Amino acid sequence: MASPVWSLQQQWLFIVLPLVFTTAATSCYSSIFSFGDSLTDTGNLYFISQPQSPDCLLPPYGKTHFHHPNGRCSDGRLIVDFIAEFFRLPYLKPYLGFINGGNIEHGVNFAVAGATALDRSFFEEKEFVVEVTANYSLIVQLDGFKELLPSICNSTSSCKGVLHSSLFIVGEIGGNDYGFPLFQTSVFGDLITYVPRVVSVITSSIRELINLGAVTILVPGSLPLGCNPAYLTMFATKDEEEYDQAGCLKWLNKFFEYHNELLQTELHKLRVLYPFTNIIYADYFNAALQLYKSPEQYGSLLANPLYFLCHINVFVLQVSITSCNIKVQSYRTVQGSGRIPN
């Protein structure tokens, strides 16, 4: 059976579609390297989990595009898949699938469903029970990238060229760092103290990628998990003041807003330190929150509360590309599942 901590993220299915272009997509990036958890994993889970668990290795996952389970915790494609399509690159292959060799010319996906930013030892020291996927923390994923780097480029000059022409996606990650404790303790005050540590690992990993030669890094924030059915069920209360107008838990969304605010503060510091690096923050929180606040504005699919809570959230990020510099300008939501809107 899948862990309730990260399987709850399987209920969020996203579509990202770049909308505003000023240069040809093919001229920007030759490869993509991604890190994260179930929102980004394109199959690493398949190599580390038993066939019957977790759920996204079984039908109906993968039914709308690939027509079979493929390790993605989605009915179809993930955000990283749509980004790859836009840049006319192949879908990213999972890193663990390259152990015995393979073509890594266009990038690799190091993300693992259920992964955490913090190392497994952090949770074990606090006596939290964690899944085997916690062995693939962000630090471990980054180590995998560094181990693979000699296979990607074999000299300083060639590595500079490859990394300069690559898009790095770091996240979303951190949700499982809070999920494990949330499902095992009622001491919410302790959880607040974890946020700086989680954000520090994320920003330290970004700094290391920059020092290795990365120049374009996309960093998604956390989702409004106070709206998630799993948490709504676990923390259900008769006190109506605990909920906002959309029916989301206010205290829990404020927590994830705190994470995102701290992350953005630290990203700003990195931009000052590395002025020639393009660090983009992707606001998953507010994009997804729109669907909960006004689902009726986005078609009958989302207007049905039961379907809305249990199936799909779709949003589109508007991206401007000028001389291969990405900037997230805004977002809007659309109706659909596994289809790019017109």
pLDDT in tens, 66-97: 999 888 988 889 989 989 998 999 999 999 98
Q: Give the pLDDT band (50/70/90) at residue 6.
A: low
Which CATH code is given to the segment(s) 4-333? 3.40.50
Spatial CA neighbour of 41 closest among 165, 171, 134:
171
For the chain, counts of helices (H) and of strands (E): 13, 8
Spatial CA neighbour of 174 closest among 1, 9, 331, 17:
9
Q: What is the DSSP string of 237-289?
A: -S-GGGB-TTS-BHHHHHHHHHHHHHHHHHHHHHHHH-TTSEEEEE-HHHHHH
pLDDT in tens, 115-133: 999 999 999 999 998 888 8
Q: Give the pLDDT band (50/70/90) at residue 101.
A: low
Q: What angle do CA 11, 142, 91 make, to 5 degrees?
A: 55
